[in-house]
Structure 1
Amino acid sequence: MLSHELPTRPWQIVSMDLFSHRQKDYLLLVDHYSDFWEIELLPDLSADTVIKRCKSQFARHGQPDKVITDNGPQFGSLFKRFSLEWEFDHVTSSPRHPKVKGKAESAVKIAKNLLHRAARDGADPWKAILHWRNTPTENMDSSPAQRLMSRRLKTSIPVTNRLLQPSVTLGVTEKLRHRRQLAKHFYDRSAKDLPELEIGESIRMKAMPGEASGRWRRGTCLQQVAPRSYLVDVEGTLYRRNRVDLRVAEPTSSAAFDTQPTHTPTPHTTHTSALEMQPTPSMPQTPGVVFRPALPGPVAPPALGQQHPPPTGTYTRSGRLSKPPQRLIL
């Protein structure tokens, strides 16, 4: 498993994602150090609106060193210009491979769950978000608010004034490293690294979603744009794909990707067919009946007991013999 570098301070690495809930669009930003996330309601999905919401959050928490997003239209050339002006690295994930921004995907799942429950119960969603931010994270001994702001947030739950005083949370990076090492240990038990592709190597790309054929199309590897992410040329069109969606094109087995393997009769099958078509003179030639002589092979083991023909009668669907009741006839 390949992970992002460990952050050493809050708001150093930020992931972003867009999501919809009840016909409303939101922008979510999550901090990799504290797991603290912010959501912004979007009036539209234009790149200019997304950039304005990002500027508002960066003015509150500071400029990040790295921002991780997908390849949506909101994160194109305008967002690239924004990253140069605000001096942060913009890293995009491979299409159809959302694991690169798994932190944002996980935060979106939590945010949707809170919004759904608040709407179902008729409660204030912002209070639900406040309580989540103030809840300690498992195996971290601190809440997202404590790791980001170095203090607990005041809620409707009674608490002493001493607990609301600022206090820097120490050892966050080491605990994050331990969590990642544990996750990597269990993930690598059933996974392995794929070999890197060579520039100019013939490859096959996994079919796009919705393609009826499901055929792996042949192409050429042009460039490695990121770890495990490649730019390939498939039938004159450029694609960016993760290594799991690409395979090395083997000339000897190329037909296995395009068509189903044809059945080649074995010598045993051919011999049987010839015997079926050419009966001997001693065989009774009954129309519509094919005589199949016994072929040499392993002798079946003898039966343990004498086999009797099954009794005639009515059987249930489970195979049990149905016996009619014996009635008294006077």
Structure 2
Amino acid sequence: MELQYCTSSPRYPKSDGLAERAVGICKGMLRKCDEAGVDIELGLLEYRTTPVKGLKVSPSELLNNRILRTAITTNENLLKIKEQMNVGIGLEEVKSRQKEYYNKGAKERKEFESGDLVALREDKIWIPGKIIEKHNTPRSYIVKDQPGRVLRRNSSHLKKTNIPFVEQKRDVEIEDPPQNNNSNNIQTENEIEYDAVSSQNINKTNDQNVVIEKRKIVKPIWCKDYVM
């Protein structure tokens, strides 16, 4: 059996909401246990015995077919084994209800094609871009911005536009050819004169004291008998 990795789009953690929610629950549990000075094992026990949203059973009941004993007083009859039936049907009903609510305000999103001009969202601004190709993961595209960067973005960060795409040319740095040691030690007369003049100008500017005019301060009459 081969595992197929499907990564989420950069800057779009919503696409991996299940994992993000699990991390948030664990962080909240650790923080509350630390603030209350409670052992983390008790926090995990409370989480496992809390009923799942939309169902009447907890994760421990689904695993052990019975309620676990907690710090809360529980009737002995409730701790007996009880087989859970039709749990899958309840989960499907919860999912279908969530899907129905979500689809009320949703609409079909048109896919982008190679060469489409788009506006690419970077932080809080939109910049011109161009679609290169569709990525092999859902709703992801490879785009190119004007400075020439090739980026992977989710379709929620893209929208069609009529703004012309003009790619900016990058400046190519050309390295200086290697010089001989003898040539490095040789200075022309012009270079020597320029260095002398520039050093004199720097010394002159450093020697000049900058004087800033201040507002004249008039002391009140009652201060004339005092040394201020």
TM range (shorter): 0.5 to 0.7
Check 1:215–1:157 CA distance in 2 against 1; reply closer, same or farther (3 A cut). Answer: closer
Structure 2 equivalent of residue 153 of structure 1: 68
CA distance in 1 between partners of 2:82 and 2:128 (Å): 57
Structure 1 equivalent of residue 140 of structure 2: 229
Check 1:91–1:147 CA distance in 2 against 1; reply closer, same or farther (3 A cut). Answer: farther
Structure that is richer in helix per residue: 2
Match of 1:182 among 67, 75, 97: 97
| Structure 1 unmatched ranges of 5 or more | 1-83, 256-330
Shift of 1:127: 0.4
Check 1:138–1:228 CA distance in 2 against 1; reply closer, same or farther (3 A cut). Answer: same
CA distance in 1 between partners of 2:112 and 2:64 (Å): 44
Shift of 1:120: 1.4
Same amino acid, percent of matched pairs: 31
Is the CA contact 2:112–2:131 (under 8 Å) kept in the aligned structure 1?
no
Which amino acid in structure 1 is aligned with residue 128 of structure 2?
Answer: R
Shift of 1:160: 5.5
- Aligned positions of 1:137-286 closer than 5 A: 137-159=52-74, 163-207=78-122, 209=123, 214-235=125-146, 236-250=148-162, 254=163
**CA deviations over 1:67-95 (Å, ceiling 9, x no partner):** xxxxxxxxxxxxxxxxx7xx433322111
**CA deviations over 1:150-193 (Å, ceiling 9, x no partner):** 44333334445664455543323322222222222222333322
Which amino acid in structure 1 is aligned with residue 21 of structure 2?
Answer: S
Is the CA contact 1:231–1:241 (under 8 Å) kept in the aligned structure 2?
yes
Is the CA contact 1:225–1:231 (under 8 Å) kept in the aligned structure 2?
no
| Structure 2 unmatched ranges of 5 or more | 165-228
Structure 1 equivalent of residue 214 of structure 2: none
CA distance in 1 between partners of 2:84 and 2:112 (Å): 43
Check 1:238–1:174 CA distance in 2 against 1; reply closer, same or farther (3 A cut). Answer: farther
Is the CA contact 2:48–2:59 (under 8 Å) kept in the aligned structure 1?
yes
Structure 2 equivalent of residue 135 of structure 1: 50
Which amino acid in structure 2 is aligned with residue 232 of structure 1?
Answer: V
Check 1:134–1:224 CA distance in 2 against 1; reply closer, same or farther (3 A cut). Answer: same
Q: TM-score, normalised by structure 1?
A: 0.43
Is the CA contact 1:203–1:221 (under 8 Å) kept in the aligned structure 2?
no
CA distance in 2 between partners of 1:142 and 1:231 (Å): 44
Residue 119, structure 1, aligned to residue 31, structure 2: no
Is the CA contact 2:118–2:130 (under 8 Å) kept in the aligned structure 1?
yes
CA distance in 2 between partners of 1:234 and 1:146 (Å): 53
**Aligned Cα root-mean-square deviation (Å):** 2.6
Query: If you compute each CA radius of gyration, which structure gives the higher value, 1 or 2?
Result: 2
- Aligned positions of 1:27-106 closer than 5 A: 87-106=2-21
State which drifts further: 111-120 or 152-161.
152-161
Which amino acid in structure 2 is aligned with residue 239 of structure 1?
Answer: L
CA distance in 2 between partners of 1:174 and 1:194 (Å): 30
3-state DSSP of counterpart to 1:113? helix
3-state DSSP of counterpart to 1:241? strand
Is the CA contact 1:203–1:247 (under 8 Å) kept in the aligned structure 2?
yes
CA distance in 1 between partners of 2:84 and 2:149 (Å): 50
CA distance in 1 between partners of 2:84 and 2:93 (Å): 16
Structure 2 equivalent of residue 109 of structure 1: 24
Q: TM-score, normalised by structure 2?
A: 0.60
Is the CA contact 1:202–1:220 (under 8 Å) kept in the aligned structure 2?
yes
Shift of 1:220: 1.9
CA distance in 1 between partners of 2:4 and 2:65 (Å): 26
Matched length: 163
